[in-house]
Structure 1
Amino acid sequence: MSSPTQQRRREVLRAIVQDYIASQEPVGSRSLVERHGLQVSPATIRNDMAILEEAGLITQPHSSSGRVPTQAGYREFVDTLHDVKPLSSPERRAIMRFLEEGVDLEDVLRRSVRLLAQLTNQAAVVALPNLNVSRVRHCEVVALSPVRLLLVLITDNGRVDQRNVELDTVIEPEDVTRLREALNQALAGQTMEGASAKLANLAETAPPDVKYHLVKCATTLIDTLVDSRSDRFIIAGAANLTRGLPGIIEALEEQVIVLKLLSNLPDLGDVSVVIGDEHELASLKDSAAVTTSYGGGSGNPLGGMGVVGPTYMDYSGTIAKVRAVARYVGDIVAGE
């Protein structure tokens, strides 16, 4: 059990972090006593600050200034963060209403990343679902003209991919129906890997009069399945970092950076916080990232989402907002 002195020093560190997040100005002992109602003298607080500085949790930028948190101080703050700011009822209703207006999963995710950027005033990123864990629900075939088809591939997690197919010969309306039936017979319920294999074998069993059209469609769908990898990302709010972290904007344009951000995701409902030097990549050393998984009713994550910002971000509020948006996306995916 910690002593009253240790408990007070934790409160002093928490107060320094909170005040610095709010102002980005060094925090002095007298202002801490006044703002946080600490029942000790400024001299006692200065002594606590000296101990915290010796432990590497805060630092003094200038000899006559107050203290600012170090990356280790932020980590200590996050690890002992028991009270995450709850979202208000109006905030929760606004989030759900905005996300429910999405026309498909990709639209919902685009809305979610824009929403996170607005709610946190940071850069937000989301990865589209990993198709390796998806199954084909349906393949729709629509004749846009006698020589052009629209293929719409729908997966069980609500992801929709559309591709146009240009034909060299005219296709009859009844053949469009036969094409749709043949494709769905081969694809329905298949994983993406299995779907590719089934499509590759379609030419061998296709009726001669629609074989050409079927092969053309199968080739296009295979390209779609191969191209639609799990490393497709949507980023919003990068302009929010222009003042504090201009270098991060360039970093987020590199796919490997985003992959690293959304790797090693926590279980559904949990949130991961990575601060400063804890990042594997040098380009993220001055930033903090709060990430989580989203998914449907199966309990398996479909992808990840999160925000990137300065190390002095509002951790409590950011954690609550990332967690809430991910949960609502999961509810929509699950149809709840």
Structure 2
Amino acid sequence: MSAEDRRFEVLRAIVADYVATHEPVGSKALVDRHHLRVSPATIRNDMAVLEDEGYIAQPHTSAGRIPTDKGYRLFVDRLSQVKPLSMGERKAIQGFLSAGVDLDDVLRRSVRLLAQLTRQVAVVQYPNLTRSVVRHVEIVALGTNRLLLVVITDTGRVEQRVVEVDQEITDDTVSVLKGLLGGAITGRRFADAADGLRDVVERADPSVKPAATTAVAALLEALVEHPEGRLVLSGTSHATGAWADQPGSLRGVLEALDEQVTLLKLLAVLESPDAMIVSIGQENDDANLSTSALVSAGYGRGDMLMGGLAVVGPTRMDYPGTMAAVRAVARYVGEIVAGR
């Protein structure tokens, strides 16, 4: 084993102990807990080199060492592979998520499950509408001059609007509008569906033109991506314990989770369903997350990315376990959503 590999083993041991104990790690603890097959003096020398190179730091005089952001980054980058979950764990995840009755239920279940598996804050993004395809358009009369417009996507996402129209609604009006609007956008991607509505009003029979004008305006609004409300969070109660020794950081973390802007930006970086990103400490643009680590993964079908999910925790999180959980849940969410 080279000196570099040996020092990485020392770093790996420090990361493991600090994650487990939340206490700075000394050379004696490494000798007692890990079979590093070198002398205590060699471990002390290796720790000194790791500290000089910025991978570990001494938070207090005469205390042990803790990993730095740079140390965690090296640890994550050197993970040769993420240990997969057991067959039993995978079946439990698949069974729990498969029991979801609709898209909302599946996403709520996925984020709750991820928070439970990692004991951290979990977040999931609704399928991106620009990549969704309109599967069905439904129109329901709610009275003599009110309509409920419902657009259902291939990912199971539902967009609906209630509109008031300047004409009396009859069964014939509903039938004609449904055929007109459904024929214009069914089978189109959300990003392209607006084009299909451009000449609908012009083609509409005069008897339904007032209703068609209002309905088209409402559908055009529904087809525009709305960033707000696209995330579901779970496990925010875990944040209190996770940052218990960093109360100054906790408030900022909660603010970042509440605003969701940073999380959306992180998930927007994902480019494919099998993509995984680990962002550590100062790597996060939001200063409120400078003591946090985020593990995110995309979900979807084939090469098409539908959305993403992530776990937010302190930098001393269990990276191998968290990455395995995020990857597994993302894979099953993609399979279930794509199959609906």
Matches within 5 A, 1:1-336: 3-167=1-165, 169-226=167-224, 228-229=226-227, 232-243=230-241, 244=243, 245-246=249-250, 247-297=252-302, 299-335=303-339
1:62 is paired with a residue whose SS is coil
Deviates more, 1:171-180 or 1:317-326: 171-180
Deviation at 1:77, TM superposition (A): 0.7
CA contact (8 A) 1:266 1:272 kept: no
CA contact (8 A) 1:231 1:259 kept: no
Question: Distance in 1 between the 2:265 and 2:167 partners?
Answer: 46
* AA aligned opposite 2:127: P
Question: Distance in 2 between the 1:229 and 1:27 partners?
Answer: 43
CA contact (8 A) 2:98 2:106 kept: yes
2:44 is paired with a residue whose SS is helix
Q: Give the RMSD, CA atoms, in angstroms.
A: 2.2
TM-score by length of 2: 0.90
Deviates more, 1:264-273 or 1:307-316: 264-273
The superposition leaves residues 25-62 of structure 1 with CA deviations (integer Å, 9 ceiling, x where unpaired) of: 01122221221222233222212211211111111222
Deviation at 1:312, TM superposition (A): 0.2
Deviation at 1:230, TM superposition (A): 8.5
In structure 1, stretches of 5+ residues that fail to align are none
* AA aligned opposite 1:263: A
* AA aligned opposite 1:293: G
The superposition leaves residues 155-207 of structure 1 with CA deviations (integer Å, 9 ceiling, x where unpaired) of: 22332112223345442223322221111111112232432233242211111
CA contact (8 A) 1:272 1:291 kept: yes
* AA aligned opposite 1:256: V
Distance 1:44 1:266, change over 3 A: farther
2:223 is paired with a residue whose SS is helix
Runs of 4+ aligned structure 1 residues displaced above 6 Å come to none
Question: Distance in 2 between the 1:198 and 1:135 partners?
Answer: 13
In structure 2, stretches of 5+ residues that fail to align are 244-248
Question: Distance in 2 between the 1:229 and 1:183 partners?
Answer: 25
* AA aligned opposite 1:282: A
Question: Distance in 2 between the 1:94 and 1:144 partners?
Answer: 42
